[in-house]
Every structure is written in structure tokens, then in C-alpha cells.
Amino acid sequence: MDKLVLGEIQMLTQNRYEELIRISIEEADAAICRGDEPFGGVICDSDGNIIVRGGNRENTEQNPTAHAEMVLIREACKTLGTKDLSGFISVCNAESCPMCASALILSGIREFYYGAEMESFCGPYIRMHEVLERASGAPLIVSGILEEECRAVVQKGRSLHPLKNSMPE
Ligand SMILES: [Zn+2]
């Protein structure tokens, strides 16, 4: 498991972030069943209590920005009645794309946990840590959590719903 710590942040316990990754995998699986992309996650508070859980809704909403993280930010802000998610935590089955990483930073979130690495055909191929290294507020990323299970659900989604127009790996 890799950990990129760019500052001093209170980390969730290993048991708790593994539980939250498992819930993210369930949400990715639910997204596959809806016909959406195989990504899911949660936004929780600093003690690991779930505020919202959900997954990708790109096809359901016919909206290319409805990645899991974007859906979760929207729902968390609605639930909490604020646009400021400072002190909250993002957990996903896979690494965030640059759009989502930027949106998470704009929301105030500075603590991130994920399992599988970004797929190499994603464009623009800018890794999450490259975005976070440019953010203020000393973000923390813990990657590679339950990586095999996380990658397996992504592969399941890709095999059931092959991507059009994707570049070969
Ligand atoms: Zn994204």
C-alpha cells in the first residue's frame, strides 16, 4: 500500500478505511448493475461516519461529469447544507481523475483513500497525486487499499460494458 503524505492529517484507522473501501466496491458494483461506470465511494467525517455513499451515474444521467466523486460531492453538500466539505474525507474504489481530484480540492476535502490505480487510457492522464501536490492545505492520500478487489470490480464493469473510443492500453 502506498501512502503519500503531504502534511499532517488525522488518519482513519486501517480497519475503518478498509470497511469504507468495501462499501465503495459495493457502490461500484451497484453502478455496474445500473449500466454506469464501475466506480463508487463514500464521503465520511473525520471519525469515518458515512455522510453519503454512491457511485458513477454517467449513463443514468447522460452526463459525462457524473463521476462517483462528483455525485458524492453534490449529495454531501446537499445533505449538510454547505458547499464547504473541509474536514471530510473521500474514499473510492479507484483513483480520482483530474476533474474529480480538482473538484474534491475545491470542496475543501484534503484526505483521500482509494484502491485501484487510474486506468492508463484515461484522458487527460494526470495522476491524482500530481493534482494534489499543487493544492494548498497539505493533502493526504492513501492508495492501494484492497487493490485487487478494487481492480476486479473495475475489470468486471469493463468486461460487461466495454468502453467505446478507448485507446488500447
Ligand atoms: Zn472523475
pLDDT at 4: 67
Give yes or no for a contact between 12 and 113, defined as CB atoms under 8 angstroms apart.
yes
CA atoms of 88 and 24, how far apart (whole Å): 16
Q: Which residues are catalytic?
A: 69
**How close is the Cα of 99 to the center of ligand 1, in Å?**
5
pTM for the predicted model, two decimal places: 0.91
Give yes or no for a contact between 155 and 37, defined as CB atoms under 8 angstroms apart.
no
First to last CA, the chain: 23
Q: With 90 as the cut, is the pLDDT of residue 12 above it?
A: no
**How close is the Cα of 96 to the center of ligand 1, in Å?**
5
Q: With 60 as the cut, is the pLDDT of residue 165 above it?
A: no
Assigned C-alpha cell, 137? 492545505
pLDDT at 7: 60
pLDDT at 168: 47
**How close is the Cα of 97 to the center of ligand 1, in Å?**
4
**In this predicted model, which residue has the larger pLDDT, 149 or 9?**
149
CA atoms of 111 and 91, how far apart (whole Å): 9
Helix (H) or strand (E) holding 3: strand 2-5
Give yes or no for a contact between 9 and 3, defined as CB atoms under 8 angstroms apart.
no
pLDDT at 169: 43
Among 154, 163, 11, 36, residue whose Cα is nearest residue 93: 154
For the segment 76-128, what is each residue's pLDDT rounded down to a tens digit? 999 999 999 999 999 999 999 999 999 999 999 999 999 999 998 877 899 99
CA atoms of 166 and 120, how far apart (whole Å): 10
Label residue 6 by pLDDT band (50, 70, 90).
Answer: low
pLDDT at 123: 78
Widest CA span in the chain = 42
For the segment 37-58, what is each residue's pLDDT rounded down to a tens digit? 999 999 999 999 999 999 999 9
60-89 burial by CB neighbour count: b if 16+ within 10 A, else e? eeeeeebbbbbbbbeebbeeeeeeebeebb
Question: In whole angstroms, how far apart are CA 52 and each of 7, 40, 76, 121, 150?
Answer: 26, 11, 6, 29, 19
